[in-house]
């Protein structure tokens, strides 16, 4: 399912990108909705796990931070 795309989480940019392996196109999936995004990984069921990183002293934590998000791209 993920062979044709690479997923990149951005701490500073607070975005999740879906990028073609050759870098010719990129699509924003999340854009500041959850704050700083530290890691993205493929889950066994085909979804994505995205980990937020807002309570490390470098962001503005909100109630419920930090967390693991489960996405179905």
Q: How do the domains of the chain map onto residue ranges?
A: 6-71
Q: What percent of the chain has pLDDT over 70?
A: 90
Q: Would you state the pLDDT for residue 28?
A: 93
Q: Does the global pTM surpass 0.85? A: no
The answer to whether residue 66 scores a pLDDT higher than 90 is no
The answer to whether residue 9 scores a pLDDT higher than 90 is yes
Q: How many CB atoms lie within 10 A of CB 50?
A: 21
Q: What is the pLDDT of residues 19-54, one digit of tens each?
A: 999 989 999 999 988 888 999 999 999 899 999 888
Q: Distance between CA 61 and CA 50 in Å, rounded?
A: 16
């Amino acid at each position: 399912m993920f062979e044709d795309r690479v997923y990149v989480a951005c701490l500073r940019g607070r975005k999740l990108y879906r990028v073609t392996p050759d870098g010719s196109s990129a699509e924003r999936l999340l854009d500041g909705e959850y704050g700083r995004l530290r890691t993205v990984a493929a889950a066994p069921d085909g979804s994505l796990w995205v980990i937020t990183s807002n309570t490390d002293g470098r962001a503005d934590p909100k109630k419920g931070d930090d967390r693991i998000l489960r996405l179905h791209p």
